[in-house]
């Protein structure tokens, strides 16, 4: 599909649908060479106002996708809209703040002067610099040379640069890379704060803990393809309870009578029941009354990491 034609069609067509989508891609593809298909027919939709986690292993195609969304890299085929516009258009970028991969600044300039360069390029007033530095708590060292900054300060300056335009859409690529645990917590709370201000945030990361804590919805990409997309809860699946009991057959029969066979599974000598954790006392009582000895009963929680590993492993197998 021709990118330009698709974009024109898109912009002329479903404007109503675009209104609640900050980002939308359809079959977005980037081929660097015959062997390197970095992004492969990727369909991504980020709704306005949400914090969206873009997950994938290193080399999965996350950064290339973000570069396409920002107009830094041309798509080979497919279409994309960012804030209702073609990627990289000044009208689109006007409302987008971004930090892609590690922050990149002029080493011989101070943090403040680096931002001064950017406000000039963006046609913004210099008065935007102070609030941006303040948000990331960098005012004190703003006049030091960039080369003297720690990794955490560089990351924070990168976020300050992304905030200069007070953007409606914030795209952050691995913002906690190279940070110590304190720095990670700091950036996490900053992103949470930014996301709660009616702003759309696209957070690309492989730090699954932070994504689980911050994001409303997530998309998982592997080998350049979107392999799952939904809310964190949807991806983690329905709640379940693990029961270790003897005799197992009697326990299973009782559980099936209570919840239906479809929601009962035997695995590694235990029962896995698809039901909410609050049902645990009732299950214990029923099993005991049925003459079953219960030695363990606990809610089974799948973390986003479990889901991610499962999905990316499947993706890898599909890719082979």
Nearer to other proteins, 99 or 184 (CB): 99
Number of residues binding to other proteins, judged by CB under 8 A: 33
Sign of torsion over alpha carbons 162, 41, 91, 230:
negative
The residue within the footprint of other proteins, chosen from 11, 31, 72, 135 (CB under 8 A), is 72
Which range, of 8-16, 87-95, 234-242, 300-308, touches other proteins by CB under 8 A?
87-95
The correct pick among 14, 20, 106, 313 for binding other proteins (CB under 8 A) is 106
| Phi, psi torsion values for 38, nearest 5 degrees | -70, -40
Q: Does 297 bind other proteins (CB under 8 A)?
A: no
**Quick check: 103 binds other proteins (CB under 8 A)?**
yes
Identify the residue among 8, 59, 108, 234 touching other proteins (CB under 8 A): 108
Residue 102 contacts residue 57 (beta carbons within 8 Å): no
The answer to whether residue 94 forms part of the interface with other proteins (CB under 8 A) is yes
Q: Residue 192 CB, nearest distance to other proteins (Å)?
A: 23
Quote the CA–CA distance of 69 and 63 in Å, as a whole number: 10
Does 282 bind other proteins (CB under 8 A)? Our answer is no
Least CB distance to other proteins at residue 122 (A): 4
The structure tokens listed for 292 are: 């079953």
Exactly one of 13, 90, 230, 260 binds other proteins (CB under 8 A); that residue is 90
Interface with other proteins (CB under 8 A), residue from 2, 9, 17, 104 = 104
| 113 is a site residue for other proteins (CB under 8 A) | yes
Tokens of 85: 């516009």
We find the least distance from the C-beta atom of residue 201 to other proteins, in angstroms, to be 15
Closest separation in Å from C-beta 299 to other proteins: 44
Contact between residue 23 and residue 81 where contact means Cβ atoms under 8 Å apart: yes
Q: Would you say 135 or 290 has its CB closer to other proteins?
A: 135
4 near other proteins, rule: CB under 8 A: no
User: Given the rule CB under 8 A, which of 2-10, 117-125, 239-247, 266-274 is the region that contacts other proteins?
Assistant: 117-125
Element (H, E) at 146: none
Q: Which of residues 155-174 bind other proteins (CB under 8 A)?
A: 161, 164-165
Burial of 42 (0-12, 13-18, 19+ CB in 10 A): buried
What does the DSSP assignment read for 21-63? EEEEEEEEEEESSSS-EEEEEEEEEEETT-EEEEE--TTSSHH
**Coil, helix or strand at residue 289:** helix
The dihedral region occupied by 59, where left means phi > 0, alpha psi between -120 and 50, and beta the remainder, is left
Stretch of residues binding other proteins (CB under 8 A), selected from 20-28, 64-72, 244-252, 300-308: 64-72
Q: Judge contact between 155 and 187, C-beta under 8 A.
A: yes
Asked whether position 281 contacts other proteins by CB under 8 A, the answer is no
Contact between 128 and other proteins by CB under 8 A: the answer reads no
Residue 150: what are its φ and ψ, rounded to 5°? -75, 170
What is the side-by-side strand order in the sheet with 169-173? Answer: 96-99, 169-173, 200-205, 51-55, 217-222, 225-231
Residues in the site for other proteins, rule: CB under 8 A? 67, 70-74, 88, 90, 93-94, 96, 98, 100-109, 113, 116-118, 120-123, 161, 164-165
């Amino acid at each position: 599909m021709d990118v330009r034609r698709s974009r024109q069609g898109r912009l002329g067509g479903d404007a109503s649908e675009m209104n609640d989508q900050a980002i939308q891609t359809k079959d977005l593809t980037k081929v660097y060479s015959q062997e390197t298909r970095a992004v492969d027919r990727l369909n991504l939709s980020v709704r306005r106002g949400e914090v969206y986690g873009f997950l994938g292993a290193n080399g999965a195609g996350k950064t290339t996708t973000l570069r396409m969304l920002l107009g830094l890299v041309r798509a080979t085929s497919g279409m994309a809209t960012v804030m209702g516009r073609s990627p990289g258009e000044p009208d689109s970028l006007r409302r987008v703040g971004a930090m892609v991969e590690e922050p990149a600044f002029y080493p011989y300039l101070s943090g403040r002067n680096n931002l001064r360069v950017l406000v000039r390029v963006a046609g913004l007033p210099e008065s935007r610099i102070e609030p941006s530095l303040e948000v990331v708590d960098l005012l004190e060292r703003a006049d030091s040379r960039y080369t003297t900054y720690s990794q955490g300060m560089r990351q924070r300056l990168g976020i300050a640069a992304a905030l200069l335009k007070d953007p409606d859409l914030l795209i952050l690529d691995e913002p906690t890379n190279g940070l110590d645990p304190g720095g990670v917590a700091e950036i996490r709370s900053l992103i949470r704060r930014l996301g709660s201000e009616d702003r759309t945030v696209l957070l690309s990361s492989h730090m699954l803990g932070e994504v689980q804590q911050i994001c409303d919805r997530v998309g998982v990409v592997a080998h350049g393809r979107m392999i799952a997309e939904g809310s964190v809860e949807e991806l983690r699946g329905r709640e379940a309870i693990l029961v270790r009991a003897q005799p197992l057959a009697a326990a299973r029969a009782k559980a099936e009578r209570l919840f239906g066979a479809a929601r009962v599974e035997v695995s590694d000598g235990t029962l896995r029941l698809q039901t909410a954790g609050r049902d645990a006392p009732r299950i214990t009582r029923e099993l005991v009354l049925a003459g079953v000895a219960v030695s363990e009963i606990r809610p089974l929680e799948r973390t986003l990491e479990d889901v991610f590993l499962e999905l990316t492993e499947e993706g890898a197998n599909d890719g082979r």
